[in-house]
Structure 1
Amino acid sequence: MRGSFATLASLCVSVFVVGTSEYLISGLLPQVGADLDVSVGTAGQAVTAYALGVVLGGPVVAAATIKVPRKALAMCLMLLFAVGSAISAAAPTFELLLLGRVVSSLSHAAFLALALVMATSVVPRERAGTAISAVASGFTVATLLGVPLGALLGERAGWRAPFIALTGLALVGVVLLAAVLPRQAAPATRLREEVRVVTRRPVLLAIATTAVGFSGVAVVFTYIAPLLTRVSGFSTTTVSGLLLAYGAGSFLGNLIAGRLTDKSMSATVRAVFSALTGALLLFPFAAVWQPTAVVAILVLGLLSTATIAPLQGLILRHAGNAPTLAMAANVGAFNLGAAAGSALGGLIVAADALRWAGLAGAALSLAGLALTHLVLPRTPHEERSTRPTDGDLRTTV
């Protein structure tokens, strides 16, 4: 038990470091633009480059490293992240900054997928949901504390300082992983088997559920600050406090969903999507009155990350003995959903319909709920009967 706790803790800390990088630069765009002589809009492409690296490069890196022993791979991926952060910190031009961001992003999806797989390997199967949520909490804490603190450091010490700090933290993470992670041999599966698993209908449906369902949250959350100030009438200071409460709620919701996933994955994922659909549907009406707006933002925070444990668990269920590539693809699906939701939200804002973004988010969450009925059993008995055994993959590939 002590060994599994240390493993989960080290993976959680490492995920926190990697997760902080994704949106860190969003709060530093004016400084980056001024220093590297580009517009703020151009500087924002550093966010896009990272997202594309996660979506496209993550599965490629995962596939290319299938035969690398798991502990060594985790350390190498953290080193790759450190290299990318160092390039970003030292970049004399915007082009080199983009290169550093892409290098860091290549480790993102592969490392998170590996961390989730390793986490479930050190706990009993019936506690897989809790293990996934424990490691994923590193990502929610990164959003809650890492990104705001990094932006604050950037304002006071220059935009390069947060990337220097990330480089140092990544190296600390490498040492921590070296000291704590148990040695695990490379999977016996071949790349052909991993590819075959990720192209199976249930796995593709699960990945689609992730992308479509999570985009519903992104439609609203990407533009939540202007919505709260323009529609709800909150001050910018109050909005900062509400966003902190949102982050705390997302941390709590992720952990609760992990425990519920251990009891019933089907019921958890459907309950979360149903609640998300309702919350997003009511958001445009709640936003016009400050007390209900506060309740709406807290509920949305609780539900926003509650999809992580059941959806990743869903991938694990259908991936059998070859989960690494499928998990990396699903991590990319979260990013793809965030990008698609943000883009749709931008169109809604451009159409001067900021208040009504929640309706589009509700439609996407409802579509995610519909997809779960294609990929998940309807009863607990069916759920238990569809859990793959160790031999399932060997009989299907």
Structure 2
Amino acid sequence: MKLEVESQQSVSSSSRAQPLAIQLGVAIIARLILNTSRRMPYAFAPAFSRGLGVPLAAMTSLIALNQATSLLGPLSGPLGDRWGYRAMMLGGLGLLSIGMFVVGVLPAYPAAVIAVALAGVAKILFDPAIQAYAGACVPYPKRGLAIGLIETSWAGSTLLGIPLAGILIDRAGWQSPFIALGVLALISGILVAQLVPLTPRRCHDGRWWAAYQRAWRSLRQRPATWALLIFTLLTCAANDCIFVVYASWLESGFALTVVALGGVTMVIGLAELVAEGLVAAASDRIGLSRAAVVGTILAVVSYAILPFVSATLSFALSGLFLIFLCFEFSIVSAMSVFTEVMPDARGTMMSLNLSAAGAGRTLGALLGGFVWPMGGLWASSISAAVICAIASGCLAWGLQRWHASKRA
């Protein structure tokens, strides 16, 4: 299926200078670099703690800081709608490059704090901007294709970025991936500046808070938006109930080594990649709203049956594969719809969605750590299934209200 630029007021006519497929291809590579930098502290926390000379607990604090930056999304979204999506993408890549170079040159814990914070801010600038740009450029009947392809960079960071970073650490030291990512982020920024066109700025009265006033008015006019954001928060919370304990479950239940657990991460990455491919290939034909609802319902089922398929390692891995397949399919399909919910403030909507996901993951991690000691896999699975079921209700209601408002 060929992607073509749709002529809309929100995107400059100069976007016809380069095929949209090339623009999105560059953005996907840039986002893969960004996601790799975000996931590195999870994968290589022991190596980084040794290199920085700090306890492992200090690295978990960095991970928490990385997640906390997603809560800044409501501040960045309206600025993207006002200043243009390319400007936000370039700002994100610039901050990422600076952060990676800082810790690559200065092997100290304060430098790592700066790097992680800047990488987190870079994500809240770049991700909503590229999603909003795709929403402005790609016709809605092909929106699932575009968003699905963009989201492959998330799975790609697990399947490609993290293994390559591990090779660099092994051969050139723990700082080497930071320097490599800094260089790649800089190159990506140059390519984005050359290939992605300017988007016209919105007219404003010169007051810096005007963008936030406009965003708030858009939200008040669309009450269904709040239900959709609650869906994102809850479905991410449900997923993290399992995500934060699956390693403990497999280690205690099947005596898996650290190396084997790394292989499980590849299984999860493959499930995410398959789901994103399915969104790109099939969700537009199914209907984005229908695909999102069906995917969420299947996610509820996958959480509920996990304890029943945990008798053997192969079945347990199949259960995890199904969970992450259904979750990723539902969240990416929903994300494709969300790019159209507030067409006059796409950057705001996608930034709020990113913040809701971050808040949900934080809540899910806390809940998962609380229920696991109380009831093990059964408690975690039931909690995830119940939360996801509530999320599916919010999604169905929000989409129904949104479609009704479009028909009105």
Common topology (TM > 0.5): yes
Q: Cα gap change, 1:8/1:188 in structure 2, threshold over 3 Å: closer, same or farther?
A: farther
For 1:175, which of 187, 190, 197 is the aligned residue? 190
Please tell me whether residue 81 in structure 1 is matched to residue 96 in structure 2. yes
Alignment partner, residue 213 of structure 1: 235
Measure, in 2, the Cα distance between the counterparts of 1:36 and 1:12.
31
- Equivalent positions of 1:310-389 (< 5 A) are 310-351=333-374, 353-354=376-377, 356-377=379-400, 383=403, 386-387=405-406
Alignment partner, residue 43 of structure 1: 59
How far residue 155 of structure 1 moved from its aligned partner, in angstroms, is 4.2
Contact kept, 8 Å, 1:133 with 1:255, in 2: the verdict is yes
How far residue 232 of structure 1 moved from its aligned partner, in angstroms, is 4.0
How far residue 188 of structure 1 moved from its aligned partner, in angstroms, is 4.7
Contact kept, 8 Å, 1:198 with 1:325, in 2: the verdict is no
- Equivalent positions of 1:5-24 (< 5 A) are 5-24=21-40
| Ranges in structure 2 where 5+ consecutive residues have no aligned partner | 5-17, 205-209
Please tell me whether residue 230 in structure 1 is matched to residue 252 in structure 2. yes
Deviations 1:258-311 (A, max 9, x none): 444424233111111111111111112212223322321221232231123332
Contact kept, 8 Å, 1:88 with 1:160, in 2: the verdict is yes
Alignment partner, residue 154 of structure 2: 139
Measure, in 2, the Cα distance between the counterparts of 1:304 and 1:145.
21
Please tell me whether residue 27 in structure 1 is matched to residue 43 in structure 2. yes
Alignment partner, residue 7 of structure 2: none
Q: Cα gap change, 1:340/1:308 in structure 2, threshold over 3 Å: closer, same or farther?
A: same
Q: Cα gap change, 1:73/1:290 in structure 2, threshold over 3 Å: closer, same or farther?
A: closer
- Equivalent positions of 1:285-324 (< 5 A) are 285-324=308-347
Q: Percent identity, please.
A: 18
For 1:115, which of 125, 130, 151 is the aligned residue? 130
Q: Cα gap change, 1:47/1:235 in structure 2, threshold over 3 Å: closer, same or farther?
A: closer
Q: Cα gap change, 1:188/1:3 in structure 2, threshold over 3 Å: closer, same or farther?
A: farther
Measure, in 2, the Cα distance between the counterparts of 1:16 and 1:135.
9
TM-score, normalization by structure 1 = 0.88
Contact kept, 8 Å, 1:59 with 1:110, in 2: the verdict is no
Alignment partner, residue 274 of structure 2: 252
Alignment partner, residue 100 of structure 1: 115
| Ranges in structure 1 where 5+ consecutive residues have no aligned partner | 393-397
Alignment partner, residue 75 of structure 2: 60
Alignment length (residue pairs): 384
What one-letter code is carried by the residue in structure 2 that aligns with 1:26? Answer: Y
How far residue 349 of structure 1 moved from its aligned partner, in angstroms, is 3.3
Aligned-CA RMSD value:
2.5
What one-letter code is carried by the residue in structure 2 that aligns with 1:208? Answer: I
Alignment partner, residue 271 of structure 1: 294
Measure, in 2, the Cα distance between the counterparts of 1:342 and 1:290.
24
Moved more, 306-315 or 42-51: 306-315
